[in-house]
Amino acid sequence: MEFFKKNWSNILFIILIVLLIIPQTRKPIQVTLNRIIAFSPSKIAADDRETLEDYNWNLSNLQGEPVNFKKSIGEVAVINLWATWCPPCIAEMPSFQKLYNEYGDKVDFYFVSTEDQEKLQRFLDKKNYRLPVYQPLSMAPQKLQSRSLPTTFVISRDGKIAVNKTGSANWNDSGFKDLLDQLLKEN
């Protein structure tokens, strides 16, 4: 018993390491940790925002119907690049679902993944998500390309990139909703 009292922190650390090595326990631990550390995303100062000039991006929804990002010219848009195997992506999905439930009729949402259509649909069904998921049919415009997942962009009505966030965030935060409300009021 004396051994455990002296070494409890080392034993706990070893257990955590073992749990992180095992794939079945690693992913849930990573998702939970990402949710704990996810904060509201930072907005880009108005003077520092780049303008998205190329909206030509061919996508396909999960029903196989083609969609072009050009339909979002003049609209506020949220673009999230994600994957079902990505723990930070999975961690932020519940906040995105809540945000979509509230703003889905006011903001154009694009959840873009290169994964197989069936895998994406299984993930959405299992988690009971009702998000507009798309697969790219062409390269994203240069300013919307990223090598990291998740990456989220928020585009204003006039094409300014108001948010460019890599990593998980709490998208259902009041600060982020204030930003969306502000962007929706702009002409």
Q: Which of 2-16, 29-43, 159-173 has the highest mean pLDDT?
A: 159-173
Q: Before 41, cis peptide (omega within 30)?
A: no
pTM: 0.88
What is the tens place of the pLDDT at every residue in 33-64?
A: 777 767 789 999 999 999 999 999 999 999 99
C-alpha–C-alpha distance, residues 139 and 136, integer Å: 7
Judge residue 171's burial from the number of C-beta atoms within 10 Å of its C-beta, 0-12 exposed, 13-18 middle, 19 or more buried.
buried
Q: Which residues of 109-146 are buried (b: 16+ CB within 10 A; e: fewer)?
A: bbbbbeeeeeebeebbeeeeeebebbbbeeebbebbee
**Helix H or strand E segment including 38:** none
